[in-house]
Amino acid sequence: MAAAAVDSVVVVHNVAKRHNVGTLARSATAFGVAEVVVVGRRDVSAFGSHGATSHLRFRHFASLALARAYLKDERGCDICGVEITDDAQPVTAHPFRRSTAFLFGNEGTGLSQKECEICDFFVYIPQYGGGTASLNVTVAASIVLHHFAVWAGFPERSREGNKFIVADRPQGHSRGLYCTDSIEAVIEERKMRKENACDILENNGSSHPQESNGLDLMFTD
């Protein structure tokens, strides 16, 4: 069990299925996550969150390097990759030391090499049946975040009847709330978007880029 107050953070990097972020947000609020850090694309869906996104803080970064700098330098987090690697420890062993940011891969390919490179350590979820090789990312997140909450000693939420009491929606929060990017992050994102646009033009042989406002919204329906 943690000796001092700690936080958990969820890192979402170019999620393949945009609607997974909504269901992941629901699990994040249930298990006391302090913040969701979105890296790369930000046009993710709140579908499946059942209003949970209004109870979370979101922060966006254009690259993994910028996200790592924030998590390490400003939040003082360890970065934990949820992946089966040679040195991964079972999450049931609770190998946590301080505030931790969790980076989840997808069912098919898991964490990429670049994602693994920013992680300080890895955990995996032990399985006891032989019917599947991996879990859905939102299921895996729920299990890992629950274990961290138990280790950290987060107080259990009060119940009413057969459900937990939902907190009032924080004032000023909206469906599309996210923390403002730093100037450096905005510059980096614009640079990446410009480079991507050039790549698309070269591939398509076109001289007129198609404008898109997809990155102007954190959430889409």
Q: Please report which helix (H) or strand (E) contains residue 10, including its range.
A: strand 8-13
Tens of pLDDT, residues 33-89 = 999 998 887 665 554 444 555 667 888 899 999 999 999 999 999 999 999 999 999
CA neighbours within 13 Å on the CB side: how many for 25? 27
The reported pLDDT for the residue numbered 108 is: 72
Q: Give me the residue spans of the domains in the chain.
A: 8-179
Decide if pLDDT at 207 tops 50: no
Class of domain 8-179 as given by CATH: alpha beta
Torsion sign over Cα 148, 150, 151, 154: positive
The reported pLDDT for the residue numbered 209 is: 36
> Is 185:66 a contact under the CB 8 Å cutoff?
yes
The reported pLDDT for the residue numbered 217 is: 37
> Binning pLDDT at 50, 70 and 90, where does residue 195 land?
low
Decide if pLDDT at 212 tops 50: no
Helices of type H across the chain: 20-30, 64-69, 113-117, 137-152, 183-204
> Binning pLDDT at 50, 70 and 90, where does residue 27 land?
confident
The pTM of this model reads 0.76
Tens of pLDDT, residues 129-165 = 999 988 888 899 999 999 999 999 999 988 889 988 7
> Is 40:214 a contact under the CB 8 Å cutoff?
no
At residue 61, φ and ψ (nearest 5 deg) are: -130, 145
